[in-house]
Chains A and B, each alone.
Chain A
Amino acid sequence: MGGELSVKPVRAITWTDVGGREASLIQRCAARDEDACAELVTEHQRMVYQLSLNLLNDHNEALDLSQEVFLRVFRTIHTFRGHSSLRTWIYRIVVNQARNRQRWWRRRHRSQQVSLDQHIQDHGDLPETVSSGPDRLVGQKQLGERIRRALDGLPFDQKTAIVLREIDGLSYEEIGFSLGIAVGTVKSRLARAREGLRAELRDV
């Protein structure tokens, strides 16, 4: 076996791959059928809300973003051509809306941002992880907090890639479609994100 790296082959999804029920639902949503819209929201809202929460880390922002995402979905669903699954297409909208929101937030609140070093200097560091302590639950919670901090410290594109892969379980192809990038770029972003997170977990 040679040294060249390869990934398993994938193929583009076509309308024929989109299930008959889903295609019918999309057509009804495009015709502004309220019941169909409610059905689509009910079906995907947990996924949208969770991804929004993982990207924005704020419950209210995530709820608001979820509503915006579905409104955007219904405004543009007539342009959906079945080049991906509906779920992946919605992921793409979530990522774009979250990116816009984060840019807006950074522009508005740049002056209020404080570096992590400054925050630690002012308020002290978070307690170190107790890897072999008696209360394993507390240790896991602290580990979760550390990884959450490290995740929030990643650039938005890397953070999105790693969240879509590790938490939402999307394939490279689906991540590429959701972020509008090539599979090679997905792999490099994932590698950089993992490198950053592993550095945070080095002493665990």
Chain B
Amino acid sequence: MTGLTCTAVRQRLAAFHDDELPVPERIAVQGHLNGCEGCAEELGGYDLVSGALKQAAAPRPPDDWKGVAPGVIGRMRAEANEAWLARMGRLFDDLHLVWIGLAATAGTVLCGAIVLGMMHFASPEREDSLRAMITVFGAPSGSNLNPVSLDGFMIQAPSVPQDGIVPASLERSSAQGEIMLAFSAVITREGAISGMEALGDGRGQLQVARLINEISRGRLEPARFGADPIAVNLVWLVEHMTVTVKTKQRG
């Protein structure tokens, strides 16, 4: 027996079994085991588990096993083939694709330059100019630049406000021989009347022109889509109305 107690030896048995003890301790434990049946039996437990595990371990592959090398190399090749750089490189294998791509890019750049030049140099004042049209197309539907048509179900139509800020008053009349006037106008999101013009018989009449002039100064309740005011295009049909134009005295 050595100086190690059974408790000290059993604390070291796992490391002894795994050959992880320093040589002096290994010699001391071995010496103790030679004379202590209890500790030797405890070590036998480790050997039993170790032997059973080796027995339960997966069998070694046969000698003629080809292994995974072909599969791994194949997958490596496939990965390299599908890599971004490899795919980019293959684009240049066929130069026709390169020329087509370059031509398409040049065309796109040219179109962009033309549009930008037009936007920069063309006059925005003319409504029939390409710049104005592009600006209108680019504006959101319902904005002042791109008014929408009134439709029956989603829009609250513009109306004359209660406080009567339209300087021309429209009154019912039973007088005979009246004419029916139709106007086209845009009611902006702010309720302003813009682009108002007479349609049909009213065109060119002085009275109608004065009427348009006065009405155009007015302000309506704008049309609404949900809670938001929107600009609308509308045709305003006036019939059986007496229109009294109150021209403010100036000076």
A residues contacting B by CB (< 8 A) are 1, 3, 5-9, 32, 34, 37-38, 41-42, 45-46, 48-50, 53-54, 57, 62-63, 66-67, 70-71, 74, 140, 143-148, 151, 162-163, 165-167, 171-172, 187, 190-191, 194, 197-198, 201, 204
Contact = CB atoms under 8 A, between A and B. Distances in A.
A165 B55 contact: no
Contacts of A151: 53, 56
A159 B7 CA distance: 27
A1 B72 contact: no
A102 to B, nearest CB: 16
Given A8-B21, A197-B53, A37 B72 contact: yes
B18 A71 contact: no
A146 B79 CA distance: 42
B73 A6 contact: no
Contacts of B80: 32
Contact of B52 (A6, A41, A147, A172): A147
Contact of B79 (A34, A41, A71): A71
**Closest 5 pairs (CB-CB, A-B):** A53-B58, A41-B69, A147-B52, A144-B56, A147-B56
B71 interface: yes
A191 B28 CA distance: 22
B72 A143 contact: no
B249 interface: no
Contacts of A144: 52, 55-56
11 contacts: A1-B4, A1-B28, A5-B11, A41-B68, A45-B67, A46-B67, A54-B57, A54-B58, A67-B72, A70-B72, A147-B49
Interface string B37-49: 0000000011011
B89 interface: no
Contact of A204 (B5, B22, B48): B48
Contacts of B46: 194
Contacts of B7: 3
Given A37-B76, A71-B76, A172-B18, A1 B25 contact: yes
Contact of A49 (B11, B55, B67): B67
Nearest to B15: A7
Given A37-B73, A41-B72, 14 more contacts: A1-B4, A3-B8, A3-B11, A7-B20, A41-B68, A50-B60, A54-B58, A67-B75, A147-B55, A147-B56, A148-B56, A162-B53, A166-B53, A201-B52
B49 A38 contact: no
A149 to B, nearest CB: 9
B18 A165 contact: yes
B250 interface: no
A201 B67 contact: no
Given A6-B25, A46-B61, A54-B58, A70 B68 contact: yes
B240 interface: no
Nearest to B8: A3
Contacts of A145: 56
A50 B58 contact: yes
Interface string B196-224: 00000000000000000000000000000
A9 B56 contact: no
